[in-house]
Amino acid sequence: SYRKGGYHAVRIGDLFNGGRYIAQRKLGWGQFSTVWLAYDTQSSSYVALKIQKSAAQFAQAALHEIEVLSAIADGDPSNSKCVVRLIDHFKHAGPNGQHLCMVLEFLGDSLLKLIKYSRYKGLELNKVREICKCILTGLDYLHRELGIIHTDLKPENILLFSTIDPSKDPIRSGQTPILEKPEGSLNGGSTMNIIEKKLKRRAKRAVANISSRRASMGGIEFQKPERCLDGIDMRCKVVDFGNACWASKQFAEEIQTRQYRAPEVVLRAGYSFSVDMWSFGCTAFELATGDMLFAPKSGQGFNEDEDHLALMMELLGKMPRKIAIGGARSKDYFDRHGDLKRIRRLKFWSLDRLLVDKYKFSETDARELAEFLVPLLDFAPEKRPTAEQCLQHPWLNLRNAAQDERENKSNVEKVDVGMSKLQIKKSVLVIN
- Spatial neighbors of 125 by CB under 8 A, at least 6 apart, are 288, 365, 369, 398, 400, 403
Decide whether 219 or 385 has the Cβ nearer to ligand ATP. Answer: 219
DSSP string, 143-167: IIII-EE----SGGGEEE---S-GG
Strand blocks (E) in 53-173: 86-94, 97-105, 148-149, 158-160
Decide whether 5 or 30 has the Cβ nearer to Mg ion. Answer: 30
Decide whether 135 or 343 has the Cβ nearer to Mg ion. Answer: 135
Q: Which amino acid is at 156?
A: E
Q: Which of 7, 16, 32, 273 binds ligand ATP (CB under 6 A)?
A: 32
Residue 107 touches which of Mg ion, ligand ATP, none (CB < 5 to 8 A by kind)? ligand ATP
Decide whether 110 or 256 has the Cβ nearer to ligand ATP. Answer: 110
Binding marks (x or -) toward ligand ATP, 222..241, rule CB under 6 A? -----------------xx-
Query: Dihedral sign, CA of 47, 189, 240, 283?
Result: negative
Return the ∠ at Cα 358 (arms to 357 and 362), rounded to 5°. Answer: 55
Q: Is 30 in the site for ligand ATP (CB under 6 A)?
A: yes
Give residue 253's Cα distance to chain centre. Answer: 23
Binding marks (x or -) toward Mg ion, 6..45, rule CB under 5 A? ------------------------x---------------
Element (H, E) at 36: strand 33-40
Residue 106 touches which of Mg ion, ligand ATP, none (CB < 5 to 8 A by kind)? ligand ATP
Decide whether 240 or 307 has the Cβ nearer to Mg ion. Answer: 240
Q: Which of 7, 16, 21, 106 binds ligand ATP (CB under 6 A)?
A: 106
Nearest-approach distance from CB 159 to ligand ATP, in angstroms = 6
Q: Which of 31, 78, 176, 190 binds ligand ATP (CB under 6 A)?
A: 31
Query: CA 238 to CA 241: how far, in whole Å?
Result: 9
- Backbone phi, psi, residue 63, to 5°: -60, -40
88 carries an active-site annotation: no
Of 14, 40, 140, 152, the active-site residue reads 152
* Residue ranges in 138-167 that form contacts with ligand ATP under rule CB under 6 A: 159
Element (H, E) at 24: strand 21-29
Residue 236 touches which of ligand ATP, Mg ion, none (CB < 5 to 8 A by kind)? none
Q: Is 242 in the site for ligand ATP (CB under 6 A)?
A: yes
Query: CA 69 to CA 87: how far, in whole Å?
Result: 9
For the stretch 339-347, contacts whose Cβ atoms lie closer than 8 Å and that sit 24 or more positions apart, written own/partner, are 340/306, 340/309, 340/310, 340/313, 342/301, 342/302, 342/306, 343/302, 343/306, 343/307, 343/309, 343/310, 346/310, 346/313, 346/314, 347/314
Q: Which amino acid is at 167?
A: S
Query: CA 50 to CA 33: how far, in whole Å?
Result: 6
Q: Is 69 in the site for ligand ATP (CB under 6 A)?
A: no
Q: Which of 10, 59, 86, 107 binds ligand ATP (CB under 6 A)?
A: 107
Query: CA 353 to CA 368: how far, in whole Å?
Result: 12
Decide whether 13 or 30 has the Cβ nearer to Mg ion. Answer: 30
User: In DSSP terms, which residues pair with 51 in a beta bridge?
Assistant: 34, 101
Q: Is 381 strand, coil or helix? A: helix
Binding marks (x or -) toward Mg ion, 189..208, rule CB under 5 A? --------------------
Q: Is 33 in the site for ligand ATP (CB under 6 A)?
A: yes
Binding marks (x or -) toward ligand ATP, 83..102, rule CB under 6 A? -x------------------
Query: Dihedral sign, CA of 128, 130, 135, 140?
Result: positive
Q: Which of 290, 282, 288 is nearest to 258 (CA)?
A: 282
Residue 395 touches which of ligand ATP, Mg ion, none (CB < 5 to 8 A by kind)? none
Q: Is 242 in the site for Mg ion (CB under 5 A)?
A: yes
Q: Which residue is nearest to ligand ATP (CB)?
A: 30
Q: Is 240 in the site for Mg ion (CB under 5 A)?
A: yes
22-30, 73-81, 303-311, 354-362 -> range binding ligand ATP (CB under 6 A): 22-30
Decide whether 97 or 242 has the Cβ nearer to Mg ion. Answer: 242
Decide whether 85 or 367 has the Cβ nearer to ligand ATP. Answer: 85
The residue ranges that bind Mg ion (CB under 5 A) are: 30, 240, 242
The residue ranges that bind ligand ATP (CB under 6 A) are: 27-33, 35, 48, 50, 84, 104-107, 110, 159, 239-240, 242
**Hey, which residues are catalytic here?**
152
